[in-house]
Structure 1
């Protein structure tokens, strides 16, 4: 009888634990900045740490990529993918949001952070900014350190002009080594900001980007570029999404301010900082970011290189990326 009671008690405890640690599979629209925006939350248990992923672009959602390449993360954390205003499913629901600026994106992300902390009963969460999302992320980590266990910057943008100069130098070297005279002529026109190739900074950037694509300076291996493109139209809820239209819309609404980015005045952070960069990323060269991190004051900092990646380590080296993120989140959330 005694053994039977003990066995029943054990089943009751296990049953209670299962009830208290439900898995998370939620796709919803959350009001941020007075407008409904798409948020996707996925994790094996409500007890896990929360990772808020800020996508880049601007206007280039990461949600389908996270589903396709990074689902392993959800075993060890609650992954939150947010389609920012003017982007992804937020754009499809509302193609003309009232507010869309760097400051409004920062404000929306701060509001979302508070929502997530309350929803999952967390004192802090982990923040990750990818590409242009890292502009939002770094400023959030600076302004609101008490909200975050750590900040992870992937393909981090610090100073647009420095990245541009480094990128153009690499393109020029590639064109010379390949004796690509047509490209060298175009590079000269870009350097002179000749109106025949670009009338706006946005046009100059896109022309430079096409040269990077030509020399594999964005995504390192063609087969990965094909796989990323496949992921973008793999899921039904993104099949009708016009990626280029949304990107152009968001960029125009930001008024080209993304091309004036300079975060080098952020000289210290109060949270641990991890930067990740692809060795073959010449869109936002990691050498610029690494130089910045060497000078940055933070309680803990680390630079992680991805040897076989360009601009998109989360997709290009998904296994390593997932492993590294899991290790970081476990470490910082445990300390917290």
Structure 2
């Protein structure tokens, strides 16, 4: 009986500790670690009124005279800021790194839920150009380096085509190319993996004409994260992002769903594959060899079709759709080697 009582005491202490820890995390304020190695450094979470919405940016770098590296996150409402602590610290030595939670995403959504009407590609592009003007003026820069991930590459390809004078280079991570072509490759990949693992029920579901959501199967077979069968590692990492409060972390999924369901594609009439073949600035494509969210074969096909003053294809052998998360050291090495001589 004494043993049972002791076990209950231990369990009660564990539960109380968890509750207290969650309470502390819930109340813990947003913050970003200071950079103390330089008098000209920046490390700040800022809210800038862009369009009609106060939008959150994280700006970090050892020297504000360094080139600006602006990340465009995916989703369309899945922030990259809450993963930044996993990979961007080495980049901050050579760049002023800017993470931006767009309207309808992350900290911006948690602070200001936008109107449904404002969730459209044209509005987000206009927001981006306004932010870029602000950053260039603030840090006395003529051009910036643009880095897009997933849906951010859809925006990025349009931006560097519409206003190439704003950018010195464009880095694409998991390039969005063509939804219909990607779907064919995704279904083939899932079918092959299901066949190998004896999952006939998945193949039956794939054959149903009304089946539109492949994400769970892409995760299960390593097409989103090579080494995980779910998005849990991304959520877990986000929970420990110093820039995010716990209530903001809990809003991430809601924001992503809001943006995805309401996004209006009102700029291009066709796919990137069909409409954008000419780039006036150097472009670099980074693709995970296991990526089937934006299938790496399709990115490679698109890469060979485009013209640019300079272009390069860089594969990450041990990654799927999130190479900066799965191979962070290599990612920072690649970015630094591209632009720092």
Deviations 1:220-276 (A, max 9, x none): 012996543321111352421322211111112215889x86112111011000000
Is 1:215 matched with 2:221?
yes
Deviations 1:181-216 (A, max 9, x none): 111111111xx12xxx5xxxxxx1xx3111111111
Contact 2:41 2:63 in 1 (8 A): yes
Which residue of the partner structure matches residue 135 of structure 1? 154
Instruction: Give the 5 Å matches for 1:86-165.
Output: 86-97=104-115, 99-165=118-184
- 1:122 deviation in Å? 0.6
Which residue of the partner structure matches residue 9 of structure 2? none
Which residue of the partner structure matches residue 247 of structure 2? 240
Counterpart-to-counterpart distance in 1, 2:231 and 2:127: 31
Counterpart-to-counterpart distance in 2, 1:329 and 1:323: 10
**CA pair 171-125 structure 1, distance change in 2 beyond 3 A:** same
Instruction: Give the 5 Å matches for 1:129-278.
Output: 129-189=148-208, 192-193=209-210, 197=211, 204=212, 207-222=213-228, 226-235=232-241, 237-241=244-248, 242-255=251-264, 262-264=271-273, 265-278=275-288
Deviations 1:105-128 (A, max 9, x none): 111111111111111101111001
Is 1:297 matched with 2:303?
no
- Normalized against structure 2, the TM-score is what? 0.83
Counterpart-to-counterpart distance in 1, 2:222 and 2:70: 29
Is 1:51 matched with 2:65?
no
2:118 alignment partner, SS class: coil
2:92 alignment partner, SS class: helix
Instruction: Give the 5 Å matches for 1:10-49.
Output: 22-49=40-67
2:323 paired residue among 298, 313, 319: 313
Deviations 1:154-200 (A, max 9, x none): 001011111111111111111112221111111111xx12xxx5xxx
Which residue of the partner structure matches residue 8 of structure 1? none
Counterpart-to-counterpart distance in 2, 1:50 and 1:263: 25
Counterpart-to-counterpart distance in 2, 1:257 and 1:244: 24
- Normalized against structure 1, the TM-score is what? 0.84
Is 1:77 matched with 2:102?
no
Output the aligned Cα RMSD: 2.3
Contact 1:166 1:285 in 2 (8 A): yes
Counterpart-to-counterpart distance in 2, 1:150 and 1:256: 25
Counterpart-to-counterpart distance in 1, 2:230 and 2:202: 24
2:291 alignment partner, SS class: coil
User: Please, which runs of 5 or more residues in structure 2 have no aligned partner?
Assistant: 1-35
Contact 2:145 2:167 in 1 (8 A): yes
- 1:26 deviation in Å? 1.7
User: Please, which runs of 5 or more residues in structure 1 have no aligned partner?
Assistant: 1-17, 198-203, 332-336
- 1:70 deviation in Å? 2.0
Contact 1:281 1:310 in 2 (8 A): yes
1:103 alignment partner, SS class: helix
